[in-house]
Amino acid sequence: MTPAPHRAYAGVPVWIAVVAALGAAFVLLPLVAMVSRVDWAEFVPLVTSESSVAAFWLSLRTSVTATLLCVVLGVPMAVVLARTGFRGQRVLRSLVLLPLVLPPVVGGIALLYTFGRRGLLGQAFDALGVTIAFSTTAVVLAQTFVALPFLVLSLEGALRTVGTRYEAVAATLGARPTTVLRRVTLPLVLPALVSGAVLSFARALGEFGATLTFAGSLQGVTRTLPLEIYLQRETDPDAAVALSLVLVLVAVVVVALAHRAGGPSGVATRRRGS
Amino acid sequence: MRRTPRVVTALVGALAVATALALTGCSGATVDTATSATPTASDPTLEGSITVYAAASLTTTFTELADEFEKANPGTTVDLTFAGSSDLVTQITEGAPADVFASADEKNMAKLTDAGLVDPSASEDFATNVLTIAVPPSNPADVTGFADLGKSDVKTVVCAAQVPCGAATVAVERATGVTISPVSEESSVTDVLGKVTSGEADAGLVYVTDVEAAGDSVTGIEFPEADQAVNTYPIAPVADTANPAVAEAFVAFVTGEVGQGVLRDAGFGTP
């Protein structure tokens, strides 16, 4: 085997590699164990049953909508957090990122008290004739709530990394703030935006606790893939395992996409955009 | 390189702690009701600890019964694990160390007897439970009986047909000819009750004992058709229990006078 041409110094201690291998096995072994339980003869009928397909499409639809909402709300949030300084900004950042560490079921309860029938905003919505509880909207709200911090976090980090040099130059050349944002800032952090959006999508796809607490569970309306898996497990563990595998495959594809979009070369290659 | 061993020790230590935390975290809701019982046992044959796996709907009653059992038999300890019956069956089938299993329906007990994990002759029915309508105290949709749940403007939440309370719901619908179009089909009766107590739903179909346990946060509306679907709760020692004497004694305690009294007070019926 010929050594790699540009190999940098890689003095990784042996014990680090051993522990790393242990960690990798810890993550991968359960997946292998799950795949080993899949009933392959029944796999296709199980994942193409009416309830499975309904859950799959509902999950895709709501996760895509939630991701779009995350981009619409998250980009301005990241820009404000990265490019401005005001009193209480650090506290605000911690609070905004709270859904990352909150158990989803707590998020569900919080959403219930906000958008529920007796909630803070729910009563106003009710007066307008809009009911959120038990609707697909509730699913999207729950998913957006838990997924938003992923986008804000990755985009804010990228914004700080690229710095304000190009933006300052653009501004001195007479570009208005909106033009700078559109023509300079966003193209610079596009890879981070894409990977952040992909991560948000993945988080929305896996959302379970908040949806169960806040939106309920009805086929085609609120019962997303994770909820369907949870329910199928009661009577048909084979179907639950088959659907879990589908979810794992989707997750693998999503992670691979995020990895490609957000690789370290991503930011560098986009620099020419200025 | 000299510092490596210390770092390794620290890392391995951290890993061990993390693993231990993860393991205890995964062991589920085990409630240790052990009191400071002195080892001076009145009945020397009954000694040691058992683990009872009981359906979630038995949480309150079995916590009380375990306490009473330990008081009556100093030297014994009863550990309790509560979850949905089918979850518990999965755990026992996968080798969880259960000594006694109390199920919320006969179907889940049958899974264990079929698998040879419970002796069919040892299984005893100890309680029954029927459905009731739970509504928020203000009863916003003016629900008075089962037929009201079929109305389209009544937001009704039920259990999904896959779980015991949902199967009972389907049976009652068949018997009455009333078709419910629920706004949600939950995977557990607790989730149904949650939707009613939070005021999101106008009505939910839950067990009589759930309404009893929920206190003032919901109002129960009993309906005669509930008799069409009576859930029977069986209990049995698990075949390969390490402590058959205590396990059998606990089963006898639950089916005996004290056990039946506690269960009756909580709203359970007698089989």
The angle formed by the CA atoms of residues A142, A145 and A149, to the nearest 5 degrees, is 150
State the pLDDT at residue A62: 96
Q: What is the DSSP string of B120-131?
A: GGG-EEEEEE-E
Please indicate if any CB of chain B lies within 8 Å of the CB of A224: no
Question: Which DSSP letter does residue B195 get?
Answer: H
pLDDT score, position A263: 55
Residue A76 has pLDDT above 90, yes or no: yes
Whether residue A216 and residue B183 make contact (CB cut-off 8 A), yes or no, is yes
Cβ of A117 within 8 Å of Cβ of B4? The answer is no
CA dihedral B97, B101, B107, B112 (to 10 degrees): 40
Interchain proximity B184–A134, CB inside 8 Å: yes
CA A226 from chain centre, in angstroms, equals 15
ipTM of the complex model: 0.74
The larger pLDDT score, comparing residue A85 to residue A258, is at A85
Distances (CA, A) of B55 to B89, B109, B167, B190: 10, 11, 16, 12
Q: Which residues of B touch A232 (CB under 8 A)?
A: 162
Comparing A10 with B150, which gets the higher pLDDT? B150
Q: In angstroms, what is the C-alpha Rg of chain A?
A: 22
Q: What would the pLDDT profile of A95-152 be if each residue is shown by its tens digit?
A: 988 888 888 889 999 998 999 888 888 888 888 888 888 899 999 999 999 999 999 9
Indicate yes or no: CB of B184 within 8 angstroms of CB of A222.
Answer: yes
List chain B residues with CB under 8 Å of A215.
184
pLDDT for residue A68: 97
Q: Judge whether residue A73 has pLDDT over 70.
A: yes
Share of chain A above pLDDT 90, in %: 53
Best interface-test mutation with B: which of A113, A132, A217 has the largest number of B CBs within 10 A? A217
3-state secondary structure of B54: strand
Class of residue B6 by CB neighbours under 10 A (exposed 0-12, middle 13-18, buried 19+): exposed
Mutate to test the interface with A, among B87, B184, B217 (most CBs of A within 10 A): B184
Which of A216, A233, A235 comes nearest B184 by C-beta?
A216
Chain B hits for A218, Cβ within 8 Å: 182-185
Whole-angstrom distance, CA of residue A146 vs CA of residue A209? 10
CB B142 within 8 A of CB B166: no
Which residues on chain A are in Cβ contact (under 8 Å) with B136? Answer: none
Contact with chain B for residue A43, Cβ under 8 A: no
Say if A26 is an interface residue toward chain B (CB within 8 Å): no
- Percentage of the residues of chain A whose pLDDT score is greater than 70: 91
User: What pTM value is reported for the model?
Assistant: 0.77
* Amino acid identity for residue A10 in this structure: A
**What residues of chain B have any CB closer than 8 angstroms to a CB in chain A?**
1, 4, 7-8, 11, 15, 84, 86, 90, 155, 157, 160, 162-163, 182-187, 191, 194-195, 198-201
pLDDT value for A5: 54
Of residues B7, B155, B185, nearest to A217 (C-beta): B185
Chain A residue with Cα closest to B88: A234
pLDDT tens string, chain B, 271 residues long: the values are 444 445 444 444 444 444 444 444 444 444 444 443 333 334 557 889 999 999 988 989 999 999 999 999 999 999 999 988 888 998 999 888 999 999 988 999 999 999 999 999 999 999 999 999 999 999 999 999 999 999 989 999 999 988 888 889 999 999 889 999 999 999 888 889 999 998 899 999 999 999 988 888 999 999 998 888 898 999 999 998 999 999 999 999 999 999 999 999 999 999 8
Q: In the predicted model, what is the mean pLDDT of chain A?
A: 87
pLDDT at position B35 is: 42
Query: What pLDDT is stored for residue B20 in this prediction?
Result: 45
Residues of A in contact with B103 (CB under 8 A): none
Residue A86 pLDDT grade (very low, low, confident, very high; cuts 50, 70, 90): confident
Sign of the dihedral through C-alpha A166, A170, A171, A173: positive
Among B138, B152, B187, the residue to mutate for chain A (most A Cβ within 10 A): B187
How far apart are alpha carbons B196 and B156 in whole angstroms? 9
pLDDT tens digit string along A210-247?
998 899 899 999 999 999 999 888 778 888 999 999 99
A11/B contact by beta carbon, under 8 A: no
- Quickly state the pLDDT bin for A8 (edges 50, 70, 90): low
Euclidean distance between CA atoms B83 and B188, whole angstroms: 10
Classify residue B39 by its DSSP letter. S
Extract long-range pairs of A25-31: CB within 8 Å, 24+ residues apart: A31/A248
Q: Do residues B47 and B246 make contact, with C-beta atoms less than 8 angstroms apart?
A: yes
User: Cβ atoms within 10 A of the Cβ of A2, count?
Assistant: 4
Which is it for strands B30-32 and B76-83: parallel, antiparallel or unpaired? antiparallel
- Contact A237/A231 with Cβ under 8 angstroms? no
> Which residue bears the tokens 């709300």?
A73
Q: How many CA atoms lie within 13 A of A250 on its CB side?
A: 21
pLDDT of residue A273: 41
Contact A134 B200 (CB under 8 A): yes
pLDDT score at A100: 87
Give the 3-state secondary structure of B135-189.
ECCCCCCCCCCHHHHHCCCCCEEEECCCCHHHHHHHHHHHHHCCCCCCCEEECCH
C-alpha to C-alpha distance for B264 and B253, rounded to whole angstroms: 14
Instruction: List the structure tokens of B235.
Output: 């209990």
> What pLDDT shows up at residue A7?
59
